[in-house]
A and B are shown apart, each in its own frame.
Chain A
Amino acid sequence: MFPFIFEWVWDIDHLVFMGGLWYALTIIGLGLTYCVAKTIIDIKSQEGKGGHDTHH
Protein backbone atom coordinates (compact mmCIF):
# COMPACT_ATOMS: atom_id res chain seq x y z
CA MET A 1 0.00 0.00 0.00
CA PHE A 2 2.88 2.33 0.80
CA PRO A 3 6.34 2.42 -0.79
CA PHE A 4 7.94 1.86 2.59
CA ILE A 5 6.35 -1.57 3.05
CA PHE A 6 8.89 -4.14 2.02
CA GLU A 7 6.97 -5.94 -0.70
CA TRP A 8 6.49 -2.71 -2.61
CA VAL A 9 8.12 -2.73 -6.04
CA TRP A 10 8.47 0.34 -8.26
CA ASP A 11 6.97 -1.31 -11.30
CA ILE A 12 4.16 -0.45 -13.68
CA ASP A 13 1.73 -2.82 -11.92
CA HIS A 14 2.09 -1.04 -8.59
CA LEU A 15 1.99 2.40 -10.19
CA VAL A 16 -1.22 1.71 -12.10
CA PHE A 17 -3.05 -0.10 -9.30
CA MET A 18 -1.95 2.05 -6.39
CA GLY A 19 -2.15 5.15 -8.58
CA GLY A 20 -5.83 4.42 -9.16
CA LEU A 21 -6.42 3.89 -5.45
CA TRP A 22 -4.65 7.02 -4.28
CA TYR A 23 -6.29 9.03 -7.05
CA ALA A 24 -9.75 7.98 -5.79
CA LEU A 25 -8.81 8.54 -2.15
CA THR A 26 -7.41 11.99 -2.96
CA ILE A 27 -10.59 13.07 -4.74
CA ILE A 28 -12.73 11.85 -1.86
CA GLY A 29 -10.44 13.51 0.68
CA LEU A 30 -10.35 16.83 -1.18
CA GLY A 31 -14.11 16.73 -1.73
CA LEU A 32 -14.78 16.22 1.98
CA THR A 33 -12.24 18.85 2.99
CA TYR A 34 -13.89 21.34 0.64
CA CYS A 35 -17.34 20.59 2.13
CA VAL A 36 -16.17 20.95 5.72
CA ALA A 37 -14.20 24.13 4.97
CA LYS A 38 -17.11 25.66 3.05
CA THR A 39 -19.47 24.77 5.89
CA ILE A 40 -17.27 26.51 8.45
CA ILE A 41 -17.03 29.60 6.20
CA ASP A 42 -20.81 29.58 5.72
CA ILE A 43 -21.43 29.43 9.45
CA LYS A 44 -18.89 32.16 10.16
CA SER A 45 -20.33 34.46 7.52
CA GLN A 46 -23.82 33.91 8.87
CA GLU A 47 -22.67 34.64 12.41
CA GLY A 48 -21.04 37.82 11.07
CA LYS A 49 -24.38 38.89 9.72
CA GLY A 50 -25.84 38.19 13.14
CA GLY A 51 -28.42 35.82 11.77
CA HIS A 52 -29.34 32.75 13.76
CA ASP A 53 -31.99 31.43 11.48
CA THR A 54 -30.67 28.26 9.93
CA HIS A 55 -33.76 27.72 7.83
CA HIS A 56 -33.33 29.67 4.63
Chain B
Amino acid sequence: MTTPAIPEGVKRCPTRQFALWLAVVGAVLLWGVYAMYLCWYKGLNQTNMNDAYGFALWIWADLAVIALGGGAFFSGFLAYIIGNKEVKHIINYAVIIGFICYSSALLILAIDIGQPLRGWFIFWHANVHSMLTEVAFCLSVYFAVLTIEFLPLIFENPKLDRIPFVHHMAHNLHEVMAVFAATGVFLSFFHQGSLGGVSGVLYGRPFSYRDGLFIWPWTFFLFTWSAAAVGPLFTISVTRLTEAITRKKLVKNSVYQMLAKISGWMLLTYIIAKIIDTWYWATEIAPSMGFAFMDFYSNNPLYGIWILVAEIILGGVVPALILITRKGRENGYLLFTAAILAMIGICLNRWVMVLQVMAVPLLPFQEWFMYSPSWQEVATTILPVAYGIILISLAHRYLLVFPQEKELNPGN
Protein backbone atom coordinates (compact mmCIF):
# COMPACT_ATOMS: atom_id res chain seq x y z
CA MET B 1 0.00 0.00 0.00
CA THR B 2 1.41 3.41 -0.89
CA THR B 3 1.54 6.13 1.69
CA PRO B 4 -0.46 9.24 0.74
CA ALA B 5 1.52 12.49 0.60
CA ILE B 6 -1.22 14.34 2.45
CA PRO B 7 -1.11 13.98 6.26
CA GLU B 8 -3.57 11.55 7.77
CA GLY B 9 -6.82 12.80 9.26
CA VAL B 10 -7.01 16.18 7.54
CA LYS B 11 -8.97 17.27 4.49
CA ARG B 12 -7.39 19.01 1.50
CA CYS B 13 -8.92 20.36 -1.73
CA PRO B 14 -8.94 18.23 -4.93
CA THR B 15 -5.68 18.10 -6.86
CA ARG B 16 -7.19 19.88 -9.89
CA GLN B 17 -8.35 22.85 -7.81
CA PHE B 18 -4.96 23.01 -6.15
CA ALA B 19 -3.15 22.94 -9.50
CA LEU B 20 -5.34 25.74 -10.83
CA TRP B 21 -4.57 27.85 -7.76
CA LEU B 22 -0.85 27.24 -8.21
CA ALA B 23 -1.09 28.15 -11.90
CA VAL B 24 -2.69 31.52 -11.16
CA VAL B 25 -0.13 32.46 -8.53
CA GLY B 26 2.60 30.93 -10.68
CA ALA B 27 1.76 33.35 -13.51
CA VAL B 28 2.44 36.29 -11.18
CA LEU B 29 5.63 34.58 -10.07
CA LEU B 30 6.79 34.23 -13.68
CA TRP B 31 6.14 37.92 -14.28
CA GLY B 32 8.45 38.69 -11.35
CA VAL B 33 11.04 36.21 -12.56
CA TYR B 34 11.06 37.92 -15.97
CA ALA B 35 11.64 41.31 -14.30
CA MET B 36 14.39 39.74 -12.21
CA TYR B 37 16.01 38.39 -15.34
CA LEU B 38 15.89 41.88 -16.90
CA CYS B 39 17.57 43.42 -13.85
CA TRP B 40 20.32 40.82 -13.84
CA TYR B 41 20.86 40.75 -17.59
CA LYS B 42 20.49 44.42 -18.47
CA GLY B 43 21.52 45.89 -15.13
CA LEU B 44 19.96 48.28 -12.66
CA ASN B 45 19.17 50.81 -15.38
CA GLN B 46 15.91 48.84 -15.46
CA THR B 47 14.94 50.57 -12.23
CA ASN B 48 13.97 54.16 -11.53
CA MET B 49 16.74 54.51 -8.99
CA ASN B 50 19.39 57.16 -9.54
CA ASP B 51 22.40 58.64 -7.78
CA ALA B 52 20.14 60.38 -5.24
CA TYR B 53 18.13 57.20 -4.75
CA GLY B 54 20.71 54.47 -4.28
CA PHE B 55 18.33 52.91 -1.77
CA ALA B 56 14.71 52.66 -2.86
CA LEU B 57 11.75 50.27 -3.09
CA TRP B 58 13.82 47.11 -2.71
CA ILE B 59 15.55 48.19 0.48
CA TRP B 60 12.16 49.18 1.86
CA ALA B 61 10.78 45.77 0.89
CA ASP B 62 13.72 44.11 2.65
CA LEU B 63 13.20 46.08 5.82
CA ALA B 64 9.45 45.52 5.74
CA VAL B 65 9.51 41.75 5.19
CA ILE B 66 12.17 41.30 7.86
CA ALA B 67 10.09 43.31 10.32
CA LEU B 68 6.94 41.33 9.50
CA GLY B 69 8.91 38.09 9.54
CA GLY B 70 9.96 38.99 13.08
CA GLY B 71 7.08 36.78 14.26
CA ALA B 72 9.36 33.78 13.81
CA PHE B 73 12.05 34.85 16.22
CA PHE B 74 9.68 36.31 18.77
CA SER B 75 7.43 33.24 18.75
CA GLY B 76 10.57 31.09 18.98
CA PHE B 77 11.67 33.15 21.95
CA LEU B 78 8.26 32.72 23.63
CA ALA B 79 7.97 29.02 22.84
CA TYR B 80 11.48 27.70 23.45
CA ILE B 81 13.01 30.14 25.90
CA ILE B 82 10.08 31.41 27.97
CA GLY B 83 8.37 28.02 27.59
CA ASN B 84 4.96 29.37 26.56
CA LYS B 85 2.80 26.37 25.65
CA GLU B 86 0.11 28.22 23.66
CA VAL B 87 2.64 29.55 21.10
CA LYS B 88 3.62 25.99 20.20
CA HIS B 89 0.33 25.69 18.32
CA ILE B 90 1.31 28.42 15.88
CA ILE B 91 5.11 28.23 15.96
CA ASN B 92 5.30 26.00 12.85
CA TYR B 93 3.46 28.56 10.80
CA ALA B 94 5.50 31.40 12.28
CA VAL B 95 8.66 29.55 11.19
CA ILE B 96 7.34 29.01 7.65
CA ILE B 97 6.32 32.66 7.34
CA GLY B 98 9.72 33.69 8.71
CA PHE B 99 11.44 31.36 6.25
CA ILE B 100 9.54 32.96 3.37
CA CYS B 101 10.27 36.49 4.58
CA TYR B 102 13.97 35.89 5.04
CA SER B 103 14.47 34.00 1.78
CA SER B 104 12.58 36.82 0.04
CA ALA B 105 14.82 39.42 1.61
CA LEU B 106 17.92 37.56 0.47
CA LEU B 107 16.50 37.23 -3.05
CA ILE B 108 15.65 40.93 -3.25
CA LEU B 109 19.13 41.82 -2.02
CA ALA B 110 20.60 39.60 -4.72
CA ILE B 111 18.68 41.59 -7.33
CA ASP B 112 19.43 44.91 -5.66
CA ILE B 113 23.21 44.75 -5.71
CA GLY B 114 24.95 45.93 -8.85
CA GLN B 115 27.36 42.99 -9.05
CA PRO B 116 25.39 39.98 -7.76
CA LEU B 117 28.25 37.58 -8.44
CA ARG B 118 30.35 39.52 -5.95
CA GLY B 119 27.76 39.28 -3.20
CA TRP B 120 30.07 37.04 -1.16
CA PHE B 121 32.53 39.93 -0.77
CA ILE B 122 30.34 41.19 2.07
CA PHE B 123 31.42 38.09 4.02
CA TRP B 124 34.92 37.65 2.71
CA HIS B 125 36.06 41.29 2.91
CA ALA B 126 33.74 42.21 5.78
CA ASN B 127 34.04 45.69 7.26
CA VAL B 128 33.08 45.05 10.85
CA HIS B 129 32.14 48.72 11.36
CA SER B 130 29.34 48.63 8.79
CA MET B 131 25.77 48.02 9.90
CA LEU B 132 25.13 46.33 6.56
CA THR B 133 27.81 43.73 7.32
CA GLU B 134 26.04 42.94 10.56
CA VAL B 135 22.76 42.68 8.65
CA ALA B 136 24.20 40.35 6.01
CA PHE B 137 25.86 38.05 8.53
CA CYS B 138 22.93 37.75 10.91
CA LEU B 139 20.40 37.55 8.09
CA SER B 140 22.06 34.65 6.34
CA VAL B 141 22.94 32.76 9.52
CA TYR B 142 19.44 33.27 10.88
CA PHE B 143 18.05 32.05 7.55
CA ALA B 144 20.07 28.87 8.13
CA VAL B 145 18.51 28.61 11.60
CA LEU B 146 15.01 29.04 10.13
CA THR B 147 15.76 26.31 7.60
CA ILE B 148 16.78 24.02 10.45
CA GLU B 149 13.57 24.91 12.29
CA PHE B 150 11.55 24.21 9.14
CA LEU B 151 13.21 20.83 8.44
CA PRO B 152 11.50 18.65 11.09
CA LEU B 153 8.13 19.82 9.84
CA ILE B 154 9.01 18.79 6.28
CA PHE B 155 10.46 15.51 7.56
CA GLU B 156 7.15 14.65 9.21
CA ASN B 157 5.39 14.43 5.85
CA PRO B 158 3.99 10.86 5.69
CA LYS B 159 6.00 9.91 2.60
CA LEU B 160 9.30 11.27 3.92
CA ASP B 161 8.72 9.93 7.41
CA ARG B 162 9.03 6.39 6.08
CA ILE B 163 12.74 6.88 5.44
CA PRO B 164 14.51 5.85 8.68
CA PHE B 165 17.15 8.59 8.51
CA VAL B 166 14.56 11.30 7.99
CA HIS B 167 12.35 9.90 10.73
CA HIS B 168 15.11 9.86 13.35
CA MET B 169 16.57 13.17 12.18
CA ALA B 170 13.22 14.91 12.69
CA HIS B 171 13.03 13.50 16.21
CA ASN B 172 16.60 14.52 17.07
CA LEU B 173 16.18 18.01 15.61
CA HIS B 174 13.11 18.48 17.80
CA GLU B 175 15.14 17.49 20.83
CA VAL B 176 17.76 20.21 20.44
CA MET B 177 15.50 22.79 18.81
CA ALA B 178 15.72 25.09 21.83
CA VAL B 179 19.45 25.53 21.18
CA PHE B 180 18.83 26.54 17.58
CA ALA B 181 15.94 28.80 18.58
CA ALA B 182 18.09 30.56 21.18
CA THR B 183 20.79 31.14 18.58
CA GLY B 184 18.09 32.48 16.27
CA VAL B 185 16.88 34.92 18.90
CA PHE B 186 20.44 36.14 19.47
CA LEU B 187 20.97 36.64 15.73
CA SER B 188 17.58 38.25 15.25
CA PHE B 189 18.15 40.78 17.96
CA PHE B 190 21.25 41.96 16.12
CA HIS B 191 20.01 41.92 12.54
CA GLN B 192 16.64 43.52 13.31
CA GLY B 193 18.59 46.13 15.20
CA SER B 194 21.30 46.62 12.65
CA LEU B 195 18.64 47.15 9.97
CA GLY B 196 17.56 50.10 12.10
CA GLY B 197 21.19 51.04 12.47
CA VAL B 198 21.60 51.16 8.68
CA SER B 199 19.93 54.56 8.45
CA GLY B 200 20.46 55.59 12.07
CA VAL B 201 24.23 55.85 11.69
CA LEU B 202 24.10 58.08 8.62
CA TYR B 203 25.34 61.28 10.19
CA GLY B 204 25.27 62.92 6.78
CA ARG B 205 21.49 62.44 6.68
CA PRO B 206 19.74 64.59 9.31
CA PHE B 207 16.38 62.89 8.74
CA SER B 208 17.55 59.49 9.92
CA TYR B 209 20.55 60.21 12.10
CA ARG B 210 20.18 59.35 15.80
CA ASP B 211 22.40 59.28 18.88
CA GLY B 212 22.56 56.01 20.72
CA LEU B 213 24.22 53.58 23.05
CA PHE B 214 27.86 52.65 22.28
CA ILE B 215 27.95 51.98 18.52
CA TRP B 216 24.19 51.50 18.21
CA PRO B 217 21.86 54.39 17.37
CA TRP B 218 18.43 54.43 19.03
CA THR B 219 16.89 53.19 15.77
CA PHE B 220 18.72 49.91 16.43
CA PHE B 221 16.59 49.22 19.50
CA LEU B 222 13.41 50.69 18.01
CA PHE B 223 13.63 48.36 15.00
CA THR B 224 14.14 45.25 17.13
CA TRP B 225 11.34 46.18 19.49
CA SER B 226 8.88 47.05 16.72
CA ALA B 227 9.62 43.86 14.79
CA ALA B 228 9.02 41.80 17.92
CA ALA B 229 5.73 43.67 18.43
CA VAL B 230 4.38 43.52 14.89
CA GLY B 231 5.89 40.22 13.69
CA PRO B 232 3.43 38.09 15.69
CA LEU B 233 0.55 40.25 14.42
CA PHE B 234 1.60 39.39 10.87
CA THR B 235 1.68 35.70 11.85
CA ILE B 236 -1.83 36.04 13.30
CA SER B 237 -3.10 37.86 10.18
CA VAL B 238 -1.69 35.31 7.75
CA THR B 239 -3.12 32.49 9.84
CA ARG B 240 -6.54 34.15 9.87
CA LEU B 241 -6.28 34.64 6.12
CA THR B 242 -5.35 30.97 5.69
CA GLU B 243 -8.38 30.02 7.80
CA ALA B 244 -10.60 32.19 5.60
CA ILE B 245 -9.26 30.67 2.37
CA THR B 246 -9.32 27.07 3.56
CA ARG B 247 -12.67 27.69 5.30
CA LYS B 248 -11.68 25.92 8.51
CA LYS B 249 -10.44 26.77 11.96
CA LEU B 250 -6.75 25.97 12.32
CA VAL B 251 -5.70 27.55 15.59
CA LYS B 252 -7.66 27.98 18.80
CA ASN B 253 -8.77 31.45 19.67
CA SER B 254 -6.84 31.40 22.94
CA VAL B 255 -3.58 31.32 20.95
CA TYR B 256 -4.57 34.46 19.06
CA GLN B 257 -5.61 36.17 22.27
CA MET B 258 -2.36 35.42 24.01
CA LEU B 259 -0.18 36.57 21.09
CA ALA B 260 -2.30 39.68 20.53
CA LYS B 261 -2.01 40.66 24.18
CA ILE B 262 1.77 40.36 24.18
CA SER B 263 1.97 42.24 20.85
CA GLY B 264 -0.27 44.97 22.21
CA TRP B 265 1.95 45.68 25.18
CA MET B 266 5.09 45.45 23.07
CA LEU B 267 3.55 47.86 20.57
CA LEU B 268 2.51 50.30 23.29
CA THR B 269 5.97 50.39 24.86
CA TYR B 270 7.52 50.67 21.40
CA ILE B 271 5.36 53.58 20.36
CA ILE B 272 6.08 55.46 23.59
CA ALA B 273 9.80 55.02 22.94
CA LYS B 274 9.29 56.05 19.31
CA ILE B 275 7.47 59.24 20.35
CA ILE B 276 10.29 60.14 22.76
CA ASP B 277 12.84 59.40 20.04
CA THR B 278 10.99 61.55 17.50
CA TRP B 279 10.65 64.38 20.02
CA TYR B 280 14.36 64.33 20.86
CA TRP B 281 15.31 64.16 17.18
CA ALA B 282 12.99 67.03 16.24
CA THR B 283 14.06 69.33 19.07
CA GLU B 284 17.74 68.48 19.48
CA ILE B 285 19.40 66.47 16.73
CA ALA B 286 17.85 67.99 13.61
CA PRO B 287 18.19 71.64 14.77
CA SER B 288 21.87 71.05 15.61
CA MET B 289 22.31 70.11 11.94
CA GLY B 290 20.52 73.23 10.77
CA PHE B 291 17.11 71.71 10.11
CA ALA B 292 13.77 72.70 11.58
CA PHE B 293 11.27 69.89 12.14
CA MET B 294 8.89 71.07 9.40
CA ASP B 295 11.74 71.26 6.84
CA PHE B 296 11.33 67.49 6.57
CA TYR B 297 7.59 67.64 5.97
CA SER B 298 7.03 70.55 3.59
CA ASN B 299 7.80 71.81 0.06
CA ASN B 300 7.25 68.47 -1.62
CA PRO B 301 4.36 66.62 -3.22
CA LEU B 302 4.29 63.57 -0.92
CA TYR B 303 5.97 63.77 2.44
CA GLY B 304 3.68 65.87 4.61
CA ILE B 305 3.18 65.70 8.35
CA TRP B 306 0.40 63.21 7.60
CA ILE B 307 2.95 60.45 7.17
CA LEU B 308 4.28 60.90 10.70
CA VAL B 309 0.76 61.07 12.15
CA ALA B 310 -0.26 57.97 10.19
CA GLU B 311 2.80 56.06 11.35
CA ILE B 312 2.67 56.96 15.04
CA ILE B 313 -1.00 57.53 15.83
CA LEU B 314 -2.88 55.34 13.34
CA GLY B 315 -0.22 52.66 12.99
CA GLY B 316 0.98 52.70 16.60
CA VAL B 317 -1.12 54.26 19.34
CA VAL B 318 -4.53 53.14 18.01
CA PRO B 319 -3.69 49.44 17.43
CA ALA B 320 -1.75 49.29 20.70
CA LEU B 321 -4.76 50.58 22.63
CA ILE B 322 -7.09 48.12 20.89
CA LEU B 323 -4.80 45.19 21.60
CA ILE B 324 -4.14 45.87 25.26
CA THR B 325 -7.85 45.96 26.09
CA ARG B 326 -9.60 42.61 26.50
CA LYS B 327 -12.72 43.77 24.65
CA GLY B 328 -10.64 44.97 21.70
CA ARG B 329 -8.77 41.69 21.41
CA GLU B 330 -11.80 39.48 21.79
CA ASN B 331 -13.65 41.20 18.99
CA GLY B 332 -12.37 39.40 15.90
CA TYR B 333 -13.01 42.37 13.64
CA LEU B 334 -11.19 44.82 15.92
CA LEU B 335 -8.28 42.44 16.41
CA PHE B 336 -7.81 42.10 12.66
CA THR B 337 -8.14 45.89 12.16
CA ALA B 338 -5.53 46.54 14.85
CA ALA B 339 -3.16 44.03 13.27
CA ILE B 340 -3.56 45.61 9.83
CA LEU B 341 -3.03 49.11 11.24
CA ALA B 342 0.08 48.06 13.13
CA MET B 343 1.49 46.42 10.01
CA ILE B 344 0.82 49.54 7.95
CA GLY B 345 2.47 51.56 10.71
CA ILE B 346 5.64 49.52 10.69
CA CYS B 347 5.77 49.47 6.87
CA LEU B 348 5.43 53.26 6.87
CA ASN B 349 8.21 53.50 9.43
CA ARG B 350 10.51 51.41 7.23
CA TRP B 351 9.44 53.47 4.20
CA VAL B 352 10.33 56.83 5.70
CA MET B 353 13.56 55.48 7.15
CA VAL B 354 14.66 54.56 3.62
CA LEU B 355 12.79 56.59 1.03
CA GLN B 356 12.21 59.86 2.87
CA VAL B 357 15.82 59.84 4.02
CA MET B 358 16.87 59.92 0.37
CA ALA B 359 14.20 62.46 -0.60
CA VAL B 360 15.17 65.26 1.78
CA PRO B 361 17.35 67.89 0.06
CA LEU B 362 20.51 68.65 2.02
CA LEU B 363 22.07 71.60 0.21
CA PRO B 364 19.72 74.55 0.51
CA PHE B 365 19.64 75.15 -3.24
CA GLN B 366 18.49 71.60 -4.01
CA GLU B 367 14.91 70.48 -4.56
CA TRP B 368 13.32 67.40 -2.96
CA PHE B 369 14.32 64.20 -4.72
CA MET B 370 11.17 62.32 -5.67
CA TYR B 371 11.02 58.77 -6.94
CA SER B 372 8.51 56.25 -8.18
CA PRO B 373 9.50 52.66 -8.88
CA SER B 374 9.67 51.15 -12.37
CA TRP B 375 7.50 48.15 -13.23
CA GLN B 376 10.57 45.94 -12.97
CA GLU B 377 11.05 47.05 -9.37
CA VAL B 378 7.38 46.49 -8.57
CA ALA B 379 7.31 43.07 -10.25
CA THR B 380 10.43 41.88 -8.44
CA THR B 381 8.90 43.08 -5.16
CA ILE B 382 5.67 41.18 -5.83
CA LEU B 383 7.67 38.10 -6.86
CA PRO B 384 8.40 37.08 -3.24
CA VAL B 385 4.72 37.50 -2.36
CA ALA B 386 3.76 35.01 -5.08
CA TYR B 387 6.57 32.71 -4.00
CA GLY B 388 5.36 32.96 -0.41
CA ILE B 389 1.79 32.06 -1.36
CA ILE B 390 3.00 29.03 -3.31
CA LEU B 391 5.22 27.83 -0.48
CA ILE B 392 2.45 28.29 2.08
CA SER B 393 0.01 26.43 -0.16
CA LEU B 394 2.40 23.52 -0.56
CA ALA B 395 3.24 23.48 3.14
CA HIS B 396 -0.39 23.54 4.18
CA ARG B 397 -1.30 20.78 1.73
CA TYR B 398 1.48 18.34 2.47
CA LEU B 399 2.58 19.10 6.03
CA LEU B 400 0.76 19.15 9.31
CA VAL B 401 1.48 22.81 10.03
CA PHE B 402 -1.23 23.30 12.64
CA PRO B 403 -1.16 20.73 15.45
CA GLN B 404 -4.71 21.69 16.47
CA GLU B 405 -6.20 21.20 12.99
CA LYS B 406 -7.43 17.63 13.59
CA GLU B 407 -8.94 18.52 16.94
CA LEU B 408 -10.69 21.61 15.58
CA ASN B 409 -12.01 19.83 12.47
CA PRO B 410 -13.22 16.41 13.59
CA GLY B 411 -14.82 14.05 11.13
CA ASN B 412 -12.41 14.69 8.23
Contact = CB atoms under 8 A, between A and B. Distances in A.
A43 B165 CA distance: 7
A24 B123 contact: no
Contacts of A38: 168, 172
B255 interface: no
Interface in A19-40: 20-21, 24-25, 27-28, 31-32, 34-36, 38-39
Given A20-B190, A54-B161, A42 B168 contact: yes
A34 B128 CA distance: 31
A54 B125 contact: no
Contact of A31 (B162, B169, B180, B190): B180
Contact of A21 (B137, B168, B180): B137
A24 B126 contact: no
B183 A28 contact: yes
Interface residues of B, number: 33
Contact of B125 (A7, A21, A42): A7
B164 interface: yes
Summarize A's interface: helix, strand, loop or mixed: helix
B173 interface: yes
Interface string B157-192: 000011111011101110110011001001100100
A25 B137 CA distance: 10
A23 B137 CA distance: 12
Contacts of B163: 54
B220 to A, nearest CB: 15
Interface residues of A, number: 25
Nearest to B144: A28
A4 to B, nearest CB: 11
Contacts of A43: 164-165, 168
Contacts of B179: 27, 31
Nearest to A20: B190
A55 B173 CA distance: 17
Contacts of B183: 24, 27-28, 31
B94 interface: no
Contact of B126 (A1, A46, A54): A1
Nearest to A13: B128
Contact of B124 (A5, A14, A18): A5
A55 B133 CA distance: 45
Interface in B184-219: 186-187, 190
B77 to A, nearest CB: 16
Contacts of A27: 179, 183
A17 to B, nearest CB: 4
B141 interface: yes
Interface in B292-334: none
Interface in B127-159: 127-129, 133-134, 137, 141, 144-145, 148
Given A39-B165, A39-B172, A13 B129 contact: yes
11 contacts: A5-B125, A14-B128, A17-B133, A21-B137, A21-B141, A27-B179, A36-B169, A38-B172, A42-B171, A43-B164, A46-B164
Closest 10 CB pairs of A and B: A17-B128, A39-B168, A35-B172, A42-B168, A38-B172, A39-B169, A54-B167, A54-B164, A13-B128, A27-B183
Given A21-B141, A35-B175, 6 more contacts: A1-B126, A5-B124, A28-B183, A34-B176, A42-B172, A54-B163
